[in-house]
Amino acid sequence: MDPIIAATHADPYPYYARLRAEGGLVFHQGLKLWVASSAPAVAAVLAHGDCHVRPAAEPVPKAIVGGLAGKVFGQLMRMNEGERQRCPRSAIEPGLALIDAHEVNALVAARLITPDADGLYNALFRGPVCVLAALLGFSPAQGRAISEVTADFVACLSPLSDPLQLETAHTAAEQLRGYFIELLDDPGNKSSLLAGIRARFAGDPETLIANLMGLFSQTYEATAGLIGNAMLALIRNPSLLRDATRVDDLIAEVQRFDPSVQNTRRFVTAPCEIEGVSLSSGDVILVLLASANRDPQLNDDPDAFLLDRPQRRSFTFGAGRHQCPGRQLALSIASATLKEILAHQPALDRLTWEYRPSLNGRIPVFRNSPPCHPNRSATNSTNTFSLGSDFLERG
Ligand code: HEM
């Protein structure tokens, strides 16, 4: 196990506890980077002005520099500091926070969900982007096409992508850009979300388009993972299904307990001291958000799964200046989608799953069990589950 393998390990949480016991911010010799695992260390790194989201020497990954996906990457608020982050963020954040959960519910309910593995795949990996597309004023057909293209575009964000996937990501960026040029030119667009963003935005049109594309890529896998991990919670503890009215509480606890984004990174740009540790310019810090969520300094009884957890605290959506502006929207989409899935009474016990290969995402993909292997665990070598004492329904 190491802190990166942990993201897609069947149960990384005991390992995270050991890392916290060794110290909140410790150098990992194997990975040659610092690992922030405790809640105070994670908070301090995310708040520090000298800890940036990209290395100074490589603002855009070498593998995609030169193509449109690289150009978009270089304009994203997520990948910038200073004015290049603040300007798009100040235009986009307020509108995202205002989105009405009832509107999200209606958009999710309007989509056809079937309870088999293909239907679940569409609900998890296509639905959230379709909801966001509709909120921005795209038609349902455009939303479906955009959700396909987004799947190709997000490859440019992963270091695991191969050259063919990166080439496809550049083409996907061209296509997404085309959709947004048409949308922004459309005098009939009735989206209050888009109108608000345009009214507040003071930069150039290409930066606006890049950051609107960024909303799709940020939504895509993380929200699928939240819904998927909530389904795993139900599979592991079917008694949680007894109270179907508590889906909002379930999603709120799952995002803390078993987050779809397990870690993020920071790059030190000037010598500094964090939690008593001296860091040098060029150092890399792996920030274990999922470990901080289980730190008893952050939440009482952190390894218990509590629907009624009082004062739940979580780093799943980050913290500080880059904190996720889509948090509320993601929670609304996840709750609405899970309610729809449950309304179809899916045979959860007939699903197998595996986590998508990733360095930081914990995103299950579900499949139907082959008929000859009715036992889910037998067909899934890496992700068998146990009803351990850490998974108790309380309240
Ligand atoms: C469960 C779903 C989601 C999770 C777990 C998640 C998590 C995160 C995290 C951890 C960050 C901060 C990364 C860092 O500081 O290094 C972030 C940033 C961001 N997220 Fe999300 N996110 C989710 C859904 C969404 C959605 C639905 C949207 C938009 C519609 C969104 C938009 C963004 C943007 C634009 C940023 C960059 C903010 C900035 O750099 O100022 N996210 N997200």
d(CA 285, CA 212): 28
What confidence tier does 392 reach under pLDDT thresholds 50, 70, 90? very low
Q: Whose CA is nearest to atom 32 of ligand 1?
A: 326
Q: Whose CA is nearest to atom 40 of ligand 1?
A: 78
Q: Is residue 220 within 8 Å of 278, Cβ to Cβ?
A: no
d(CA 267, CA 50): 8
Cα three-residue angle 124-130-131, rounded to 5 degrees:
95
d(CA 212, CA 177): 9
d(CA 306, CA 231): 16
The whole-model pTM stands at: 0.93
Residue 78 CB–ligand 1 contact under 6 Å: yes
pLDDT one-digit tens code per residue, 72-102: 999 999 999 999 999 999 999 999 999 999 9
How does DSSP assign 294-305, residue by residue? T-TTTSSSTTS-
Mutate to test the pocket of ligand 1, among 218, 260, 327 (most ligand atoms within 8 A of CB): 218
The predicted structure's pLDDT at residue 116? 86
Q: Is residue 268 within 8 Å of 281, Cβ to Cβ?
A: yes
Q: Is the pLDDT of residue 211 over 90?
A: yes
Residue 103 tokens, joined: 């509107």
Residue 263 CB–ligand 1 contact under 6 Å: no
Residue 264 CB–ligand 1 contact under 6 Å: yes
The predicted structure's pLDDT at residue 372? 52
Residue 88 CB–ligand 1 contact under 6 Å: no
pLDDT one-digit tens code per residue, 339-371: 999 999 888 888 999 999 999 999 999 988 776
The arithmetic mean of pLDDT across residues 156-178, rounded, is 93
The arithmetic mean of pLDDT across residues 178-203, rounded, is 97
Q: Is the pLDDT of residue 388 over 70?
A: no
The predicted structure's pLDDT at residue 115? 79
Residue 132 CB–ligand 1 contact under 6 Å: yes
Residue 77 Cα: closest atom of ligand 1: 40
387 Cα: distance to centroid of ligand 1 (angstroms):
31
User: DSSP H helical segments within the chain, as ranges?
Assistant: 13-22, 39-47, 68-75, 83-98, 101-109, 117-125, 127-135, 140-153, 163-185, 192-200, 205-236, 247-257, 289-293, 327-343
Report which of 176, 80, 192, 155 is spatially closest to residue 361, judged by C-alpha positions: 155
The predicted structure's pLDDT at residue 71? 97
The predicted structure's pLDDT at residue 379? 34
Residue 20 CB–ligand 1 contact under 6 Å: no
362 Cα: distance to centroid of ligand 1 (angstroms):
15
16 Cα: distance to centroid of ligand 1 (angstroms):
22
What confidence tier does 56 reach under pLDDT thresholds 50, 70, 90? very high
Q: Is the pLDDT of residue 386 over 50?
A: no
327 Cα: distance to centroid of ligand 1 (angstroms):
7
pLDDT one-digit tens code per residue, 30-43: 999 999 999 999 99
The predicted structure's pLDDT at residue 371? 61
d(CA 84, CA 86): 6
Q: Kindly list the distances between the CA atom of residue 7 and the CA atoms of 25, 36, 240, 268, in Å, as whole numbers in the listed order.
A: 18, 14, 24, 23
19 Cα: distance to centroid of ligand 1 (angstroms):
25
Total residue count of the chain as it appears in this document: 395
265 Cα: distance to centroid of ligand 1 (angstroms):
13
Report which of 344, 102, 329 is spatially closest to residue 244, judged by C-alpha positions: 344
d(CA 85, CA 75): 8
Q: Is the pLDDT of residue 384 over 90?
A: no
pLDDT one-digit tens code per residue, 58-71: 999 999 999 999 99
pLDDT one-digit tens code per residue, 305-340: 999 999 999 999 999 999 999 999 999 999 999 999
Give me the domains of the chain, ranges plus CATH numbers: 5-379 (1.10.630.10)
Q: Whose CA is nearest to atom 42 of ligand 1?
A: 326
The predicted structure's pLDDT at residue 395? 30
**Which are the contacts of 283, defined by CB distance < 8 A and separation ≥ 6?**
33, 34, 267, 268
Question: Rounded mean pLDDT of the chain?
Answer: 92
d(CA 54, CA 284): 10
Residue 364 CB–ligand 1 contact under 6 Å: no
299 Cα: distance to centroid of ligand 1 (angstroms):
22
The predicted structure's pLDDT at residue 24? 97
